[in-house]
Structure 1
Amino acid sequence: MFEICVESDFCAAHRLNNYLGACENLHGHNFKVEVVVRCSKLNQTYIGIDFKELKGHLKDILSALDHRYLNEIDFFSKTNPTSEMIAKYIFETLKSRIKECDLYTVSVYETPTSKATYMED
């Protein structure tokens, strides 16, 4: 089994509803995103999935979040745009785009030392 990991980032604003504290107020983050896929097979070039391809899919997804107020995005209309739910959104959006490997985890960092990770059971 092989694991392939790529990282990217985006900037966005959000506020957490029903949260008692500073995060209830409008604020922003420079989010870092880490995607891990697992491949049991390699292609004829001995690549599970090309880094360029995986980064391209991630870039497309993050461009819809970059410099946005996340609370206004449809996916977050019934939930809070927490790091956990941002990771789930990216995972669900990315999963259908990857054919060569299995999407394993998506992690979203709000700060260099705080991250949330989503994976399916």
Structure 2
Amino acid sequence: MSTIRITKQFNFEAGHALYGYDGKCKNVHGHSYKLSVTVSGKPIKDTTHVKFGMVIDFGDLKKIVNEEIVDVFDHATVFNKNTPHVELARELMDRGHDVLLVDYQPTSEMMVIDFAKKIKKRLPKNIKLHSIKLQETDTSFAEWYASEN
């Protein structure tokens, strides 16, 4: 049977700041992120299986991505915990804001690497993560492909 790719799209809002950056993105700001997750596999051949004909149930993929990424990042502010932004992060947390402290500069490029690791750990063994696209504006996005990593 053929290998098929399926894609599920997600949206979330998040803020971030790029410590040490030499442009406007050094300031705290936010994006309406669009995330596309593509997986590949073979459709289930067993006619008695409730998921017959599916590579993976879109609902199962949605659950994984929501739990690992969307529910965590949505309406949070993301800072690299290895920078002085940690002081601002603590102040925001003390005031009840959702803040994520990550081990990387929170660029779209680094976020897709993080997201790929998280999603791959949760996928069934017969399903492969093919690619991730994270769009931060209408004209700017980062992509991760398994074939290149």
User: Is the TM value for this pair above 0.5?
Assistant: yes
The yes-or-no answer on 1:58 pairing with 2:85 is no
The answer for the alignment partner of 1:73 in structure 2 is: 100
The yes-or-no answer on 1:109 pairing with 2:116 is no
- C-alpha displacement of 1:110: 0.3
1:22 to 24, 29, 47: 24
Moved more, 105-114 or 25-34: 105-114
Gaps (5+ residues) in structure 1? Answer: none
- C-alpha displacement of 1:18: 1.9
Gaps (5+ residues) in structure 2? Answer: 47-51, 80-98
> Which residue identity lines up with residue 140 of structure 2 in the other structure?
S
- C-alpha displacement of 1:119: 2.7
Q: Which protein shows a greater Rg?
A: 2
Identical-residue share of aligned pairs (%): 31
* Number of matched pairs: 118
Please list the CA deviations of residues 61-105 of structure 1 after superposition, one character each: whole Å capped at 9, or x if unmatched.
21111111111534x23x210001111111111111111310011
After the TM superposition, which parts of structure 1 deviate over 6 Å for at least 4 consecutive aligned residues? none
TM-score w.r.t. the length of structure 2 is: 0.74
The answer for the alignment partner of 1:92 in structure 2 is: 117
| Counterpart secondary structure, 1:64 | helix
> Which residue identity lines up with residue 98 of structure 1 in the other structure?
L
| Counterpart secondary structure, 2:114 | helix
